[in-house]
Structure 1
């Protein structure tokens, strides 16, 4: 269903193009927590901590219904612009993900900016992925049955962890799923991507908001040219996992996500890119009966099962 005039007006009212994220990110975290309170779960889960270099990284593990198949894992990195969001705000998403895919879902509560700026988030995500890949007894799972997945900033982190894994040589994921990922460093009026200009206002996630997120995330201006922050800048994308990228039609991040898919393909990787028609950024957090969510899980399950 296309976005009609009334819906466009409502979206414009909700997009807050002039909201100063740099001054209100703490308030927005509190609002997120209020919207997603810590209630008694209606699903089987387990909170755990994984040791980092000088701190512990919380993870929340969601278990699917009992199956006779061997264990399979999705390591999930949440969205929120590296600044907001947490394992509580994504618990419903991860519970649905476990049930629909039949995978154990490990949701990573990585450190947030600006208190912990780049590269704190990717280092936390890499540490958790490394622990799961290298400790085969942790979940009794084969390495080929471990997939990285994330949405928005989490999609960025999934792609970055795969690049870090190749560069460091400690492990290598076989699959990754990137849902409307951030892959580039410029979302201003000088952006080379049409979707930033076409969808940068009036569709909930604004280009100004993305710029604010990145400004809160980086430690210095030089970070903007680091491929671990903007994967599309990587000169070498060879040796990356089989990849599924799902973008949203009315999303300022749409074109850079699709461009990243093309670049992965050009460097010899197996890639599928799907643009979700009429969808907005953030749709994976909608209730599971919504058409875009249902279609996404059809694509995800087909990808996980290696179906053409």
Structure 2
């Protein structure tokens, strides 16, 4: 069965889509294949006002067991695709699974708005929420940053920016299979880029395409606000949970970032989900992976020891604790 699964993945991963050419079509497709599920949950659309423009956000309120706590969410999509519409189901499920209100940020996308536009939007929204907690009625210590893939990168960078600017400092961050380095070519120092870069749907070539669209200036790719793992100083960062996927090109750099955070005295927990692929959070077929991820996330959010049970003994499903 495992061999058949692997062969199917290889076949699916073979066609190469030129993301630089077709990114607009991919954006439309993502919205089409992710329509909001019924019955609809409670959500509110809002706009964060800046001096010269507005940043749309969508607020998701849990349907039951709501806690006075908040997740600020940055979506994935390689900084090029994805938006608050294509992530509506993910965020609604996140609110209901965690009991937290979720604010999803519709940051500007590349290549129309290359680095640093997207991360600046994420930072400004986060700063406004921390500066004006009375608007949403949450205490700053009850706010957690969270993101998947490129969104995990943005969450990590917002935390670094907050430390550098001295504006505020999140207490917690959750990075789900985050991009933390800029190089996903054959010269990458991380083995997973090569080992998992061709046969597991998300290819290293596509990740490199995303990076080139997001940061066209090669010199900017060396910035820690693009590749946080390059930061010389990672001290004074939030309590961090990193969740990686076994067959993901980004696996090793996500885990290495966590280890580097830990080496600077930060509290870090890293879990790798066995047999999981990049992007499982948005895959409705990856139910087991999603369930395991939320079990880990909820215990982290509640400051409990993470003891992950074997959800599917028939498949010998496991989660490996890296740190």
Q: Shorter-chain-normalised TM-score: which range? A: over 0.9
Structure 2 residue aligned with 1:124, among 118, 121, 124?
121
1:226-278 C-alpha deviation (Å, 9 max, x unpaired): 00000000000000000000000000000000000000000110000000000
Q: Residues 132 and 98 of structure 1: is their aligned pair in 2 closer, same or farther, counting only changes over 3 Å? A: same
1:33-85 C-alpha deviation (Å, 9 max, x unpaired): 2112367761000000101342211101000134475x100000000000001
**3-state SS of 2:207 partner:** helix
Q: TM-score, normalised by structure 2?
A: 0.91
The equivalent of 2:213 in structure 1 is 216
Structure 1 residue aligned with 2:43, among 21, 42, 45?
45
- When structure 1 is superposed on structure 2, of 18-27 and 262-271 the one drifting more is 18-27
User: Does 2:36 correspond to 1:29?
Assistant: no
The equivalent of 2:223 in structure 1 is 226
> Is the Cα contact below 8 Å between 2:66 and 2:100 reproduced in 1?
no
Q: TM-score, normalised by structure 1?
A: 0.96
Unaligned runs of 5+ in 2: 306-323
- When structure 1 is superposed on structure 2, of 214-223 and 262-271 the one drifting more is 214-223
> Is the Cα contact below 8 Å between 2:66 and 2:101 reproduced in 1?
no
The equivalent of 1:13 in structure 2 is 11
**3-state SS of 1:178 partner:** strand
Count of aligned residue pairs for this structure pair: 305
Instruction: Give the CA deviation at 1:136.
Output: 1.5
RCO (CA 8 Å, sep 6+): is it higher in 1 or 2?
Answer: 1
The equivalent of 2:192 in structure 1 is 195
The equivalent of 1:84 in structure 2 is 81
What is the alpha-carbon distance in structure 1 between the residues aligned to residue 99 and residue 231 of structure 2?
Answer: 33
What is the alpha-carbon distance in structure 1 between the residues aligned to residue 73 and residue 181 of structure 2?
Answer: 21
> Is the Cα contact below 8 Å between 1:17 and 1:206 reproduced in 2?
no
**3-state SS of 1:138 partner:** helix
The equivalent of 1:306 in structure 2 is 303
Unaligned runs of 5+ in 1: none
Q: Residues 67 and 4 of structure 1: is their aligned pair in 2 closer, same or farther, counting only changes over 3 Å? A: closer
Q: Residues 257 and 35 of structure 1: is their aligned pair in 2 closer, same or farther, counting only changes over 3 Å? A: same
User: Does 2:110 correspond to 1:113?
Assistant: yes
RMSD in angstroms over aligned alpha carbons?
1.5
What is the alpha-carbon distance in structure 2 between the residues aligned to residue 101 and residue 38 of structure 1?
Answer: 19
User: Does 2:267 correspond to 1:270?
Assistant: yes
Q: Residues 306 and 15 of structure 1: is their aligned pair in 2 closer, same or farther, counting only changes over 3 Å? A: same
